[in-house]
Amino acid sequence: MKSLILNTATRLMIGVLVLFSLFLFFRGHDEPGGGFIGGLVGAGAFTLYAIAFGTEATRKVLKIHPITLIAYGLVALVISGLIPMFVGEPFLTGKWLFLEIGNTEWKLSSPLIFDIGVYLCVVGFIVAVIFALEEEPLINT
């Protein structure tokens, strides 16, 4: 799609959208947000980019194949599940680590890794489908 307004707006928006998706992702545990929603916004950002500049350019921006993204997501899910097993607890039990850095408390946890996995899978899924559909027409007639 060739549209000056869309192109300019997209250029400005993509960074904000990605940041926003990360913001949504990280606040997810306590406020509305999380891996799924964050992933959707992230995917939305790249979808917008793909519509404005085409898939070739989006591939360059993304740098990584969406299917690979899905694979990393699945790996993250499995890792978060395996972590508790090293201390003899059932698969997928949440393990937490509370860190005091400065005045803020940082919560590191296996559910966080799990959420990262969800995020990657969601982004990978939508971008993969968009790429597949955008690259060439489905029906030649």
Partner 1 sequence: MLIVIGLIFLVALLSPGIHRILQEKTGWFLALLPLGSFIYLLSWLPEIAAGGTVAQSTTWVSMEFFEVNLAFYLDGLSLMFGLIITGIGTFIVLYGSGYLGGDAYLPRFYIAILLFMGSMLGVVLADNLISIFVFWELTSFTSYLLIGFSHEQENSRKAALQALLVTGIGGLALLGGMVLMGYASGHWEVSALLNEGDIIREHPHYLAILLLVLAGAFTKSAQFPFHFWLPGAMAAPTPVSAYLHSATMVKAGVYLLARMHPVLGFTETWMILVGGFGLATLLISAWLSLSFTDLKQILAYSTVMALGTMMMLIGLGTEIAMQGLAVYILSHAMYKGALFMVAGAIDHEAGTRDVRRLGGLRGLMPISAVAAGLAALSMAGIPPLFGFIAKELVYEAALESALAPILFISLAVLANMAIVAASAIVVLRPFFGKAVETPKKAHEAPLSMWAGPLTLAVLSVLFGVLPFLVDKSLMLPAASGVWGEPLDFYLSLWHGINLPLILSIATLAGGLLIYKVWDPLRESAPMKTYQAGFAHVPVKAYEGLVNGMLGLAGWQTRVLQNGLISNYLLTIIITAVVAIGYTFLSRSGIIFNPDFSDVHVYEWTLSLAVLVSLGIMLTFGKSRLTMIVAAGIVGFSLALIYLIHGAADLAMTQVLVETLTVILVVLVLIHVPKLREIRSTASRFRDGIIAASAGVLMTLLIFAATAAPFDDFISKFYADASYPLAHGRNIVNVILVDFRALDTMGEVVVVAIAGIAVYALVKMTRAGTSTANKES
Burial class (CB in 10 A: 0-12, 13-18, 19+), 35: buried
Could you give the CA distance from residue 77 to residue 69 in angstroms, rounded to a whole number? 13
- 140 near partner 1, judged by CB under 8 A: yes
Check the CA dihedral 130-122-56-4 and report its sign: positive
Within 59-88, the residues that bind partner 1 by CB under 8 A are: 66-67, 70-71, 73-74, 77, 80-81
Please report which helix (H) or strand (E) contains residue 70, including its range: helix 66-82
Closer CB to partner 1, 6 or 134, in the complex: 134
Residues forming contacts to partner 1 in the complex (CB under 8 A) are 28-37, 40-41, 43-44, 47, 51, 66-67, 70-71, 73-74, 77, 80-81, 91-92, 94, 96, 107, 109, 111, 114-115, 117-118, 121-122, 124-126, 128-134, 136-141
